[in-house]
Structure 1
Amino acid sequence: MARFKVSNGSKIVVDPEPDSDTASMRVYLLGSCLGAMLFQRGLLVLHGNAIEIDGKCMICVGPSGVGKSTLTAAFLQRGFRVLADDVVPIDPSRNAIPGYPRIKLWQDVADKLGIETKKLDEIRPGMKKYNYPLGTAFCDKPIPVGMICLLSPHAKDTIEVTRVQGMDRFSALYGNTYRQQFVEGMGLQSAHLRQCGELGARTSILRVSRPTSGFRIEALMQCLLEAMREIA
């Protein structure tokens, strides 16, 4: 498709292959290239979604398919603002920094939430995943990280919340770093270990397990809202 060169935390050069489409290149520009640039600027970058709740940021992380986008879109529908989708940078003052003003939605997620996709642009030609613009629901200013939620499925019918303690706090951040290979490739391991340790020591990290079958989005949202307001 293209070759991308990211340098000095400020410049991206794109060398496209013949007939490459702009939409597909944009996916990499707003994903891997943006992540690389943020690492070059010395920021900690998590792979997750960031939502503003009562003036603080809740970051949801977890493996692909666990429901981060569904949860983010559901919060958006209920009037909450969104800072970032997929690439979440955090500065040394423990503030989450706004990303690009859109979230990406698969067709099944849109169907689940009753979101019409006919007028939305596909993120790449032929892929049933769409750019959903945030408009005024975009939080465009850095805000303090209040809580990090490790979202995971389990075989039970209940939603369970446990506080992550000790070294598991570090592992939770390290394991959900955006493009870990970039950290190694740029020789940023020492700085990254320190950043994960500092954020983990000063931030509430919760493991939230939700039923594998039956997402129970309303109950999950209420659970997270209560957790955020308890730490406020």
Structure 2
Amino acid sequence: MPGTRISPAQDLAPSPSPLERRRSPPTTLSYRYYTTYGLKIASQLELPELEPLPPETNPDIRIQVGDLTGRLEDAVVSTPWLQCNNKNCQFLIERVARYRSEQGRCIRIDRRLSLAGGSTVDEGDVRLYLLGSALGALIHQRHWLPLHISAVQTPAGVWGFAGDSGAGKSTLAAWMHYRYGWKVVSDDVGVIKPEESLPILYPGPPRLKLWKDTLERLGIDRAGLVRDLTRKEKFHLNRHRGFTRKSEPLKALVMLERGLDNEQASIKEIEGVEAFRIVMSALYLPEWGQRFNGPARLMQVGSGLAQRIRVYRYRRPWSLERVEENLKPLTQLLHDGAGHVR
């Protein structure tokens, strides 16, 4: 989901403009068909970041463009920028669009803008919040588990990497692909369906987001790449060839931690309550997970996942010059086939 967390302090405007300029959509908008996170999508908005599908008579969700009311009716949570009830949520990104995710089945987008004098909004900005926060809310409405991770198809199966912003999730996934030839399963968000017998990880859009210094270190030309909306030194590699389309069981989740410059890299398996905490800390948009699932159910599915996969804590110095050296404990474990590290 192309990675935007809902945060009133950072990602969303604190209040909408009282005036909106209407930009009427065509009377009839045709549907295009895509897939991501194991969903079949019929969309009135073109989504070049996603894998296309043939026309689908029974899509899982629909994305529709049209006018929305200023506020969501019967909202339990209500602010100028966000309203939620027990089944739906609506939020405003000022100068971009208003979005409504409904009952895990539909996302509506209102393209009326609060811009002056004929300005236009980049379509990529509209899609950014659609494929991030709006789709993330819809996944929670379906009672699935979206994880804020990068995941790689390693010799030991699919491993996911979690951590705070800047922990190196995307960098690690890109390095493993470009240096070792391992396919990327997902970057930013992957989805688990708790009702399935195995913890299958369903990949998101085939897009890597890498910092300028990582691109240079890997020898990737920045020409033609899309700059990140909020971080000018970060670039998007859309429809990246390094991704696999397969959905496979998640074997392990690794929490990335930044060590001291002179510290030796180490990896340790975590069990019990701490493993559960790591799984829960990797949840994407946790506030909406609680809203649409309830705390008890969310804890239940998080605990169930922690018991079905291995959980590790991987601590290493953050240095692009020493990546290979710092990766040795992790790659040795992967080549040994998910062995036992205590």
Compute the TM-score of the two structures, normalised by the length of structure 2: 0.63
Deviations 1:45-79 (A, max 9, x none): 11110111137211000001111111111112131
CA RMSD of aligned residues (A): 2.1
Unaligned runs of 5+ in 2: 1-95
1:224 Cα deviation from its structure 2 partner: 2.2
Unaligned runs of 5+ in 1: none
Letter in 2 for 1:231: A
2:286 to 159, 170, 180: 180
1:189 to 288, 295, 298: 295
1:11 Cα deviation from its structure 2 partner: 1.6
Q: Which has the higher contact order (CA 8 A, sep 6+)?
A: 1
**Alignment identity in percent?**
28
The range that moved more, 33-42 or 200-209, is: 33-42
Letter in 1 for 2:157: K
1:153 to 242, 258, 265: 258
Deviations 1:8-66 (A, max 9, x none): 22321111324322111222122212221221222111111011113721100000111
What pairs with 1:12-23 in structure 2 (closer than 5 Å)? 12-16=107-111, 17=113, 18=115, 19-23=120-124
1:134 Cα deviation from its structure 2 partner: 4.8
1:177 Cα deviation from its structure 2 partner: 0.8
Q: How many Å separate the matches in 2 of 1:102 and 1:74?
A: 14
Q: How many Å separate the matches in 1 of 2:122 and 2:239?
A: 24
Which structure has the greater CA radius of gyration? 2
1:52 equivalent to 2:153? Answer: yes
1:90 equivalent to 2:192? Answer: yes
1:79 equivalent to 2:181? Answer: yes
Corresponding pairs, count: 232
Q: How many Å separate the matches in 1 of 2:107 and 2:321?
A: 39
Distance change in 2, residues 1:213/1:131 (3 Å): closer
Distance change in 2, residues 1:113/1:169 (3 Å): same
1:192 Cα deviation from its structure 2 partner: 1.4
Compute the TM-score of the two structures, normalised by the length of structure 1: 0.90
Distance change in 2, residues 1:125/1:69 (3 Å): closer
Letter in 2 for 1:87: V
Does structure 2 conserve the Cα–Cα contact (< 8 Å) formed by 1:61 and 1:176?
yes
1:109 equivalent to 2:214? Answer: yes
